[in-house]
Structure 1
Amino acid sequence: MDTSSVKLNMPPATLYEQRTKDVIVRVEPDYLDEQSSPSESRFIWAYTVEIQNCTEVDLQVVERFWQIADSRGQVQEVRGSGVVGEQPVLRPGETFRYTSGAPLTAPSGMMMGNYGMQTPEGDTFTVDIPPFLLDSPHQPPIFN
């Protein structure tokens, strides 16, 4: 079989990016069809985040804040220390990458938030996480 003519019905990955005070945050969401169950209103996403330190000082990720909204208007807020159980220190030029997940009871939604960063001197500032869409193949994309 000639595979050059086979078309996959998978959309290209979407990468969202935001730069705040020389820190770049990139997010790539991925719908997990095998873990989701639309008939039970369970839609599961993984999202991979990269936090890149483009400053000239070490930075530590000390806290996170997420808003997770679904297409039915339900909003969850998540606050916590660090990310995925860590408070990583990023040296100048370094990137920290992790993957986490989000369940929704609706076929689409969006996430946004921020990270609390701290310098070795104890100065703190907030870095924005770009808003990103969670659009499953079980509903046409909704543009806000």
Structure 2
Amino acid sequence: MTAAQDNRHRIQVSVQVEYLPDQSDADNQRWVFAYHITMHNRGQQTARLLTRHWVITDGEERTREVHGEGVVGEQPSIAPGQFYQYSSGAVLETEVGTMHGSYQMLAEDGTCFDAEVPAFTLAVPRALH
């Protein structure tokens, strides 16, 4: 059993995506999306978010990776049963793309574990059938 599967260390991540037409410019191949993240601590210990890792792929299969400390300038601690929310954004050169990634977490018992973010789609409304 890995630490991520251990009930002591479990962060559930959900994502909502929003297309931002006012910030996008199709003529210059710039499509802007906001994503709203909610992290619920379903484990038994307080966990602190240390770093993030995103893999962003556009509709032409161009991929870029983003690594960094915390999220939106914070490294929040999330107590059992509590949640943390934040919003951020991504800019693509195509109307459709995907993102997935993970957050490296540190539990109060010193265990490091990853909170996985399943792949989600970034798409201009009506761009997908």
Question: Same fold per TM (> 0.5)?
Answer: yes
1:26 equivalent to 2:14? Answer yes
CA distance in 2, matches of 1:106, 1:119: 38
1:72 aligned partner, one-letter code: E
Q: Deviations over 1:30-66 (max 9, x none)?
A: 0001110111101000000000001111000111000
Q: TM-score, normalising length from structure 2?
A: 0.90
Q: Could you tell me which runs of 5 or more consecutive residues in structure 2 were left unpaired when the two chains were aligned.
A: none
1:84 counterpart residue number: 72
Amino acid at match of 1:30: E
Structure 1: how far apart are the matches of 2:87 and 2:32?
13
Q: CA deviation at 1:29?
A: 0.7
Per chain length, whose mean CA-contact separation is higher, i.e. which structure has more relative contact order (CA < 8 Å, sep 6+)? 2
Counterpart of 1:16?
none
Q: Report Cα offsets for 1:113-133 as digits up to 9, x if no partner.
A: 001010122210111101100
Cross-structure match for 1:106: 94
Rg comparison, structure with higher value:
1
Distance 1:119 1:107 in 2: 38
* Dislocated runs of 4+, deviation >2 Å: none
Of residues 111, 114, 134 in structure 1, which corresponds to 2:122?
134
1:41 to 14, 21, 29: 29
Q: Secondary structure at the match of 1:141?
A: coil
Flag structure 1 segments of 5+ consecutive residues without an equivalent. 1-19
TM-score (norm 1): 0.81
Q: Partners in 2 of 1:114 and 1:63 — Cα distance?
A: 8
Q: Aligned pairs, how many? A: 122
Percent identity over the alignment is: 34
Which residue number in structure 1 is paired with residue 43 of structure 2? 55
CA contact (8 A) 2:100 2:118 kept: yes
